[in-house]
Each structure stands twice: as structure tokens, then as C-alpha cells.
Chains A and B, each alone.
Chain A
Amino acid sequence: MTNHYCDLKNADVVLIMGSNAAEHHPIAFKWILRAKEHGATIIHVDPRYTRTSARCDFHVPLRSGTDIAFLGGMISYIIENDKYFKDYVLNYTNASFIVNSGFHFEDGLFSGYDAKKRKYDKSTWVFDQDGRGVPQRDMTLSQPRSVFQLLKKHYSRYTLDKVSSITGVSKENLLKVYEIYASTGVADKAGTECYALGWTHHTTGSQNIRTMSIIQLLLGNMGIAGGGINALRGEPNVQGSTDHCILYGNLPGYLKMLSASLDTLEKYLHKYTPQSKDPQSANYYSNYPKFFVSFLKSLWEDKATKENQFGYAWLPKMDDGKAYSTMHLFDAMYAGKVKGFFAIGADPAVSTPNSNKVRKALQNLDWLVGENIFNNETYEFWRGPGVDPTKNKTECFLLPAAASMEKEGSQSNSGRWVQWKYKAAEAPGDALPVGEIEIKIMAAVKKLYEKEGGPNAEAIVNLKWDYLDGKGHMDVIKVAKRINGVFLEDTVIEDKAKGTKTEFKKGELVPGFGNLQADGKTACGNWCISGSYTADGINKMASRGKEDPTGLGLFPNWAFAWPVNRRILYNRASCDVNGRAYNPKRKLLQWTGDKWVGDVPDGPWPPQADRAKGKYPFIMQKDGLGALFGPGMAEGPFPEHYEPLEGPLAKNPLSSQLINPAAEIFKSDMDKVANASEKFPYVCTTYSCTEHWCTGALTRWQAWLLEMQPELYVEIGEKLAREKGIKNGQRIKVSSIRGEAPCIAMVTKRFKPFRVEGKEVHQVGMPFNYGWLFPKDSTSDSTNMLTPTVGDANTFCPEYKAFMVNVEKL
């Protein structure tokens, strides 16, 4: 979240799109209801009517996978009807930048496309620069090659008729949402957006979010109380695990994973340290080397020296142009290229798309290690449906893990609040926290490498992992301090602006990431979280102050919000160029002439009207401004509507590019696709329910929860049920070209057919919380028997939310 949960109450309009907030964030949803109590309009745009829809002012159904078309229409509406917040767009976004003349867009493709590689050469996706190397700007926004004019042109194709025909949303409903949401494009109104897996689970997932970012920038809704783009993340610690690099392309704190061609530290730092020639751009990522070298030092301390590039060579490197997502992992495992597999707190035999392929892939392993609080379908794949245990060679281990309430540590919520929690009960039997299991396994591996050597032995032998306490258990405080960062030598830090010199002693915790050094004097496990543990021993993550000085629900003394306890990111954009709050009723920040008062500001510099010392508000962007034109994405700087990998249409109504041109296509014999097929005519979407969590690997053991949601079901509209002769509560079969899922039909008024390109398109929906292993007499299995192995072009988040099925009576 750019903002945080409590801040949702400050919104005038809440657009819930790509999220079933009431069902999946039932406690956080109270903040949305609080906004409603204050008179806010709450809108739910979603393929199905859910418990969230029931509590919103109104619900607008749209065909799954057409969010960009819907939002692209909104961008067009905002521009054509002059609803954008002009002062903000002009000063705080790159609307005025002039785009390189080589950049173009034609028939669904941007310049630089390589059809063979399904990748773009982005060299034309750049701005023209003046003599100093600063992007050229046209402050009238009228130059045809300005970002603003290109944006306007791009989305002028998203007419009401076109969008309605693609999405299946009536023109009346489109206009209703556009008008209400666009009403926040003024100084004293705030609109916020809440999304979750409903946006990320698409081949266009990242661009769904990008499209909304453009809208928020146009309306001046970024960096303000009650605004922002808010990913509602899952319980208990999705935010924390992402911050600490659960995704293959990241290192802790969103530092970039290494690739083979970057074979020296210098090359790596050159590539990932952005340069800006604009003196008003803070370009905060120019500090990248400090964060990265401190991270290397956190792994190897004394062994990481300037001479050996701080151990850079020891880190594993990805092959250039290759991705390593879970889908790639199982694709390689299916091809027999993976020997061993750790599945920690995971049940991929249920959760990963195309479960039949995943389960086949698991059979190719030599060994499998599970770490979990319960057994699950992955650890038992060798005796799963259709598998002959006598023919399987895989050696399987299951290590009992402590549950989250059986260990101390931090959990981070979606609002980036890193919150400390304590152990409530001892773990049963031999169960250990997974962190401790990892430390102990690594210690044993280290001993073997010390004795026997092996490839890249130095990386392992030199690893500084002294995280055990006197009794041989994991010491989470030691880990927390290492994440915060520490001085490894006596260090004097000079602040030239303030004219101060501060001395820090070896072993002292760093006050924040501003103190990290690129010369090896500091070690820091995760620069984002730096500042969470103070030198005088205060664990800020454990702070529980309820003070709310701004009255906006920032609660600055409750836990630690990264970065540097900032509660709302880009908050200097809530003020005009002179530092006066745009909205005096919700004053998040104010420049008093010598300092900012309110939230922790995005940097200490004066507001940007001060041409000498002032800085632009979007400090993590190279150019310091919000990116309407975003050249970082895999499929283009402006989001474009593409159909899901599997959809009901043979042709994209907007261009000749049917699907995301940058999405990787998996090609194994089990990766079948049936687009616009008569055999599989219905759009299917999958989701969780309130009563279960993810694969149900934790909740299916719980009788109270199972009693409420006992088995797999498919939600079907009344009209489709009539056509197929299906009765409510009847056991039926849902199938895709990849597999089958028998389940119970839930015939409902909440699903209605869409009118898409003149055709009637039915949509059905299924939860993904079930598997064969338990309850003991389970008649269900994974919904992911149906889903395709395909994902977003930037993140490889799988497309669980839109694919094609058939439904039939058994």
C-alpha cells in the first residue's frame, strides 16, 4: 500500500476493483465502512457479486480479465472531460516530458517488439533531453510528443462503446463509475483504490495496477490522505515476505537479483544505480550502492572485502533473459532438470496452476523436504490420486514447524507496518520455527563444505550466520538487529548540509538507511527496514503508542512503518509547490518555512518551488515525478488491453494482438490452451473464501471452518444453470482442456451473463481452497487442475483469474 489500512477512512470515494475486501480482509474492511459512514461512495467493480458488493453503494460486474479496458476508458473520460487535477499533473507528473521520436504504438504493439523473443527493446521508450541531460518539457502540455498528448491519443481508442463491448459493462454503468471516481480530481477530494489478487492474477496483472496509477496521478490522488493505490495483502505476512525477497528477481529490500552478464560489482552497480542530471530530482536510488554493499556485508562481514568486491562473485546469478518463478521451477522439474525441492509452508500441488503438471513434475524429484505445521498434498504427492507409490523413487521428508503464534518475530501488514509479536504458546513436540530449521540445516551444510569443499564453497563457508542464542535456538532479536543494520567500524558521518559530524562506534546499530555506507563500514540485511531497532535498544516494531497527532489515523508511534516510519508514501505531493496542503481539511504535511510538519516527509528538502534546494516529491523515481509514461514495464509504457491467454474471443477488439505480447508461453506437452473454443465456452475465475485460507492447508483441519465451507463448489448464474439443466446443490463437473474438478453447483442470482462483442458470455467462479488429502473423506481436489501455466510478463504471477471451462452434469 502507498497508504495504510486506517487511512482508508479518509477517502471520499473508494474504488474496490480486483479485490473482495470484505471477504478477505474482514477486519480491515471496517475502515472502508468508516469512510462510508462519513459519506464516501464505495464502488465495487468485480466479475461477481460478493459479500463486498453487498456492503458497497453499488456493484458493477465486468468480464474477468478486462480491467485495463475498463480503466483505459476512465483515463479517456478524465482527459476528454477535463477532470484531471491540472496543478498536480503539471508539476508532479511527467505529463510535460517529450518522448523520443522513435517511440510509437501501432495495432497493439509499441516500438521495439521482437516477436520471436516475445520481448521489447526499450531503447525508444525514452525522453528527449536538453543540453544538461535533463528531460525536455512542454509546460503547455500541447506538444504532440508530450507524454500528456500521447496518453490522450492512446486512450482515445477506449471509447464507451468499445469498452462496453469488451468488458460487458453497460455504458450507463461505465459512466456512473467514471463520473463518481473522476470527481476526486480536485484539491479537497480523495479517491483511493483497493486491489488484491483480482488484479495481480492476470497475464496483464502489473499493468492493471499501472493503469490505476495513471488515473491516481491524473486526479492528484497519490501521496495524499485517503488516496493512493492500496494492495490489500494476505494474512499473515505477505508484505513481510515480499519485503524480504520471496520473489526470485529480488534481494531483500527490493534490491535486484544478479544476472550472469553483470559479472562484476561495478557493472551491477552501474546498471542499477540511476543517474539524474536534474538538480531538483532527489533520485534517492542513487544511494543504491550503499544499500547493496551493506547487504553483502550482512552476509559475509569481514570476509567481504573491497578486494573481493564484497563477495559479489559468491552470490548466485540468473541467466540473462531467463525467469525463475514457481511456474518456471515446475516447468524445469517437469522436464527432469530439478533434483531436490524444499516446500516450506507451501502446498504447490494445490496452489500452483495446472496441478496435473505440478504433480507429474514432483515425481521427477530425487528428494523433497517439507516444512510445515500440517501435512499437505505436496508432501503426499507420491500417494496422490492416480500415483502408484511403488513406482516412485522420491525420498520425502517432513519437518514439523512452529505455527506463527508459537514464535516471536515481526509480521508486516499491507500498510508496511512492521509489527512485533510475541510467542503465545510453545510449539508442540519437535516443531521448530522455520528460521531455526534453516539456520541448522545451513550450519550442517557449512560443516560439510568446510570438510569436503565444493562449487562456490566460499559463499557457504564464509557465511556469517550467528543467529543462535546460548541455548542453541534462533535469536530473533539478533536477526532483527542485523536487518536494521550495524556499524562494522568506528565511523564518522558528515552532514554537509547541516554542517554536522557524527561519530558512530563499531557494533552500534545504524539509526537508519541514510547512514549506510558503500565502502563496507556498515552491514544491513534489509535497507528498507533500517531504523526499526535503535542503538539504545528500542525495538520500534514493538511500540504500541496510540497517539494520533494529525487526526488522520497515522498513529506514528504504533509499530514501525518502512521507510523511516513514513505512513503515506510520496506525501510531499499532498502539498502544492510551495508546501501548502492542497486539502486543508486533511492536512497530511505542511512546509513551515524551514521544515515539514505532519507525517515523516519524503525527504527533508524544501518544496520544489525553491529552485535551488527544493526537490520533486516522487523521490524514488529517477526524474522525481510520477510516471504517466512508465518505461519500466515489460509490455509497454502505457498499459494496453489484451485478452487473457484463454478467453471467449478469437480476436482482441482493440488490435491484432490477442494476448499480452510480452507474456511467456510455456510449451510442455501438458501446457494446452483452448481459446475461443466451443468445447470450453465459459469464462472461469478462481478465488478464496472468508472461511478458508489459500489452499486450505491450515483451515481444512479446522472443524468450525470446514462446517461452514465443507467442499469445492462452483458458482453458476441461474440462466446458465437452466441451459445446462443443473440444479442447485447438485454434484457436477467443471473441466478445462487441462483437467477436471468435480464439485457442487451453487446456482445463484449473483452471476449474470455478459454481453461481449455481441455475444452472450457466461462466467462461473470457484474457490481454490480444497485438496484431496483432507478432510479424510474429501470428495474435492484442487481447482488448479483447471488453470493454465501462464503469468504476468513482469512478475509471473499466474493467471488464476481468467480461463475457459465447460460445466456439465455428472
Chain B
Amino acid sequence: MKGPELVKLIDTTLCTACRGCQVACKQWNELPGLKTRQLGTYQNPPDLQWNTWTLIRFQEYEDKDGNFEWLFRKDGCMHCTDAACVKVCPSGALFHTEYGTVGLAKEKCIGCKECIAACPFDIPRYDGATDKVYKCDLCLTRLRADQQPACVKSCPTGALTIGAKDAMIRKAYARAKALGGDASVYGDKFVDGTHVIYVLGQKPEVYDELPKHPSVPAAIIVWKDFLKPLSLLAAGGVLAGSFLHYIIHGPKTPDDDVNTKEGGA
């Protein structure tokens, strides 16, 4: 698709939670469907996992006046401009693409999981069996073949659209304005702008698992923008790397390697 910068717009007010996107993502990216259980919710798998790069979150929301709404939010990589994951990735597996999105060259991934800790949106997921991390790359191969991402292609209602960054941001604000009330745009105002933005029917703080003020963790800024250049000059790089791992993750425990193959929960 024509760039330079693309934005995928998720208009939650048009989403019917049909989950065509969830399936289309698995189909295009050849991700398996795994054994799950019914846990008392339509949301399944219960969270993003190595084989589930996008997920509709179902949330039963009642406002203070008792008005009820079933909220649907398609969760997945936000494709930050100031992407913490790219910053911390030591192997170059995570990279900025020509569209401003964040690609993942999985053959380069060494399974260090730095990106998992760094991501302000809690997106990347680790798979113990392949010792790699997985996340949405906005169907980079499709974009390069002038095709929409699989999720956008599958969306029957127009809740998912993709296009040039400025136009999509304008579209998002126009839509939020037309909706009125608490409708808002989410994504363009932090981490130097994400390449996935939402039109939300409610205020952002209403939505589960959606950070109100996402930002690149301070430790990463200190490390990447200050300590790392220094460490390259000195022999302390390894030590500093370990230190960074420690301050982000805490001490390493065997649980880090739990494979979520069984569908979580």
C-alpha cells in the first residue's frame, strides 16, 4: 500500500464483535487454533497469546447511572512511532517499516522477551516451544503487495479501515465529533503517535486493558538513549544489559517459560 505512513483505524462503535478479524489473522498468518475452555465469556482465547495476535475484548460495562453497554475492543499491536519494543530488541528482530509500523523478523528473534517487558500496551507474547516472541506486523507482506491487512479485509461493517496517516486521523476525529458524548480518539497523542488508532465510544479509562497514558518505560529511555551509547564505549555492556533485565523483570523465575499453548487461564 502507498505510504509513507499508514494508520489502521479501529472504530469500536461499528464493531459487532463477529471476530472475523480474529480468524482472518490466524488464517493469513497460519496460526493454529488451540484447545480452549468456555470460561464464562465470549472472549476466547482469554488473552493475546503467541498464536493470537489480535483479539476482541468483550466487556460488560455499566455506567454510574446503571446504563449498560457491551463494549467490544479489538486488541493487538498499536505500532508505535516511539516503539519501546524496537528500542529494546537486541537482535534487530523488531524494526520500523517503511509504513511507520513495527515489523517482526521472527528468524532474528532470540526469545529474550525484552520487548514483552517494554511494551506499554502489553502486546508481544512468548512461545516456549519455538523460543520466540510473536505479535501483529500489520500483515507487512500484504501491505507490500498493495493489499489491506487480513483483519481489515475481513471486516464486514467498516469498523476496520486503513489509509494514509493524516487522512485517517482526520477521519477518526470527524467520527468522534459526529458521535458526540464521551466518544474519543485514542492513539495519536502518545508514543509519538501509534499507527493503529481507535475511535472509542466511551472514555479510554472505561476500557479494560487499555492504558490511559501509555509511554515508553523510563528505564528504557535511560538505557537506550543514554547508557547504551556509553556502554558501547566501555566493556560494561553485558553487565548493564543484565541490570536492565533485572530492573524490568525482577529475578528470573521458571514461570517465564510457561507455554500458553493450552489456551491460558
- Chain B binds chain A: yes
Residues of A in contact with B (beta carbons under 8 Å apart) = 22-23, 26-27, 29-30, 33, 49, 51-55, 690-691, 702-713, 728-730, 744-750
B22 touching A708, Cβ below 8 Å: yes
A730 to B38, CA, bound (A): 9
> Of A29, A49, A705, A710, which contacts B23 at CB under 8 A?
A705
Q: Which of B14, B42, B60 has the most CB atoms of chain A within a 10 A radius of its CB?
A: B42
A711 touching B70, Cβ below 8 Å: no
5 closest Cβ pairs, A-B complex = A703-B33, A729-B40, A728-B40, A707-B33, A22-B16
A747 touching B40, Cβ below 8 Å: yes
B156 touching A26, Cβ below 8 Å: yes
**Nearest Cβ distance between residue A608 and chain B, in whole angstroms?**
41
Q: Which of B39-56 contact A (CB under 8 A)?
A: 39-42, 44-45
A33 touching B60, Cβ below 8 Å: no
A51 touching B26, Cβ below 8 Å: no
Given contacts A55-B16, A690-B18, A749-B62, contact A30 B44 (CB under 8 A): no
B23 touching A26, Cβ below 8 Å: no
A707 touching B156, Cβ below 8 Å: no
A52 to B39, CA, bound (A): 22
A707 touching B19, Cβ below 8 Å: no
A690 to B19, CA, bound (A): 8
Given contacts A29-B157, A706-B33, contact A51 B38 (CB under 8 A): no
Task: Name the A residues within 8 Å of B126 (CB-CB).
Answer: none
> Of A52, A710, A748, which contacts B44 at CB under 8 A?
A710
Residues of B in contact with A (beta carbons under 8 Å apart) = 14, 16-20, 22-23, 26-27, 32-42, 44-45, 60, 62, 68-72, 156-158, 263
**Nearest Cβ distance between residue B110 and chain A, in whole angstroms?**
29
**Nearest Cβ distance between residue A663 and chain B, in whole angstroms?**
34
A750 touching B45, Cβ below 8 Å: no
> Of B14, B36, B70, B263, which contacts A51 at CB under 8 A?
B70
In the complex, besides A703-B32, A703-B33, A713-B40, 7 extra interface pairs with C-beta distance below 8 angstroms are: A26-B156, A33-B158, A690-B18, A707-B35, A707-B44, A709-B38, A750-B70
B18 touching A26, Cβ below 8 Å: yes
A706 to B35, CA, bound (A): 8
> Of B23, B26, B70, B157, which contacts A33 at CB under 8 A?
B157
Task: Identify 28 residue pairs between A and B in the complex whose beta-carbon atoms are under 8 Å apart, listed by A's number.
Answer: A22-B16, A23-B16, A23-B18, A26-B20, A29-B16, A30-B157, A51-B16, A51-B17, A53-B70, A54-B16, A54-B17, A54-B72, A690-B17, A704-B26, A705-B33, A706-B33, A707-B33, A707-B34, A707-B35, A707-B263, A708-B23, A709-B42, A728-B39, A730-B40, A745-B40, A748-B60, A749-B60, A750-B60
Which single residue of chain A is at the shortest CB-CB distance from B31? A704
Interface of B is mostly: loop
Given contacts A26-B18, A30-B158, A51-B16, contact A710 B70 (CB under 8 A): no
A707 touching B72, Cβ below 8 Å: no
Task: Name the B residues within 8 Å of A728 (CB-CB).
Answer: 39-41
A127 to B219, CA, bound (A): 87
B68 touching A49, Cβ below 8 Å: yes
**Nearest Cβ distance between residue A176 and chain B, in whole angstroms?**
15
B38 touching A54, Cβ below 8 Å: no
Task: Name the B residues within 8 Å of A691 (CB-CB).
Answer: 19
> Of B27, B40, B68, B70, which contacts A744 at CB under 8 A?
B40
Task: Name the A residues within 8 Å of B37 (CB-CB).
Answer: 710-711, 744
Task: Name the A residues within 8 Å of B19 (CB-CB).
Answer: 690-691, 708
B157 touching A729, Cβ below 8 Å: no
A703 to B36, CA, bound (A): 10
A711 to B235, CA, bound (A): 57
Task: Name the A residues within 8 Å of B18 (CB-CB).
Answer: 22-23, 26, 51, 690
**Nearest Cβ distance between residue A196 and chain B, in whole angstroms?**
15
Task: Name the A residues within 8 Å of B69 (CB-CB).
Answer: 54
B38 touching A711, Cβ below 8 Å: yes
Task: Name the A residues within 8 Å of B16 (CB-CB).
Answer: 22-23, 26, 29, 51-52, 54-55
Which single residue of chain A is at the shortest CB-CB distance from B33? A703
Which single residue of chain B is at the shortest CB-CB distance from A689? B42
Which single residue of chain A is at the shortest CB-CB distance from B58? A51
Given contacts A30-B157, A707-B33, A710-B36, contact A54 B23 (CB under 8 A): no
**Nearest Cβ distance between residue A413 and chain B, in whole angstroms?**
15
Task: Name the A residues within 8 Å of B62 (CB-CB).
Answer: 749
A711 to B263, CA, bound (A): 14
A728 to B42, CA, bound (A): 12
Which single residue of chain B is at the shortest CB-CB distance from A690? B18
Task: Name the B residues within 8 Å of A729 (CB-CB).
Answer: 38-41
Which single residue of chain A is at the shortest CB-CB distance from B70? A54
**Nearest Cβ distance between residue B12 and chain A, in whole angstroms?**
10
**Nearest Cβ distance between residue A435 and chain B, in whole angstroms?**
30
B44 touching A702, Cβ below 8 Å: no
A747 to B71, CA, bound (A): 16
**Nearest Cβ distance between residue B177 and chain A, in whole angstroms?**
14
Which single residue of chain A is at the shortest CB-CB distance from B38? A744
> Of B26, B44, B156, B158, which contacts A709 at CB under 8 A?
B44
A749 to B19, CA, bound (A): 21
B27 touching A33, Cβ below 8 Å: no
A691 to B42, CA, bound (A): 10
Q: Which of A691, A702, A745 has the most CB atoms of chain B within a 10 A radius of its CB?
A: A691
**Nearest Cβ distance between residue A699 and chain B, in whole angstroms?**
11
Which single residue of chain B is at the shortest CB-CB distance from A743? B38
Task: Name the A residues within 8 Å of B32 (CB-CB).
Answer: 703
A54 to B58, CA, bound (A): 11
**Nearest Cβ distance between residue A89 and chain B, in whole angstroms?**
36
Task: Name the A residues within 8 Å of B263 (CB-CB).
Answer: 707
Which single residue of chain A is at the shortest CB-CB distance from B39? A729
Task: Name the B residues within 8 Å of A703 (CB-CB).
Answer: 32-34
Given contacts A30-B156, A30-B157, A33-B14, contact A746 B40 (CB under 8 A): yes
Task: Name the A residues within 8 Å of B72 (CB-CB).
Answer: 51, 54
Task: Name the B residues within 8 Å of A702 (CB-CB).
Answer: 33
> Of B38, B60, B68, B156, which contacts A710 at CB under 8 A?
B38
A49 to B62, CA, bound (A): 13
Task: Name the B residues within 8 Å of A27 (CB-CB).
Answer: 156
Which single residue of chain B is at the shortest CB-CB distance from A28? B156
A130 to B32, CA, bound (A): 73
A711 to B38, CA, bound (A): 6
**Nearest Cβ distance between residue A568 and chain B, in whole angstroms?**
23
A747 to B60, CA, bound (A): 11
**Nearest Cβ distance between residue B201 and chain A, in whole angstroms?**
10
Task: Name the A residues within 8 Å of B33 (CB-CB).
Answer: 702-707
Task: Name the B residues within 8 Å of A706 (CB-CB).
Answer: 33, 36
Which single residue of chain A is at the shortest CB-CB distance from B23? A704
A749 to B35, CA, bound (A): 27
Which single residue of chain B is at the shortest CB-CB distance from A34? B158
A23 to B60, CA, bound (A): 17
**Nearest Cβ distance between residue B134 and chain A, in whole angstroms?**
16
A713 to B71, CA, bound (A): 20
A691 to B32, CA, bound (A): 16
Which single residue of chain B is at the shortest CB-CB distance from A49? B70
A382 to B23, CA, bound (A): 35
Given contacts A705-B23, A707-B44, A708-B44, contact A713 B38 (CB under 8 A): yes
Task: Name the B residues within 8 Å of A750 (CB-CB).
Answer: 60, 68, 70
Task: Name the A residues within 8 Å of B22 (CB-CB).
Answer: 708
**Nearest Cβ distance between residue A296 and chain B, in whole angstroms?**
44
Which single residue of chain A is at the shortest CB-CB distance from B157? A30
Task: Name the A residues within 8 Å of B23 (CB-CB).
Answer: 704-705, 708
A707 to B260, CA, bound (A): 14
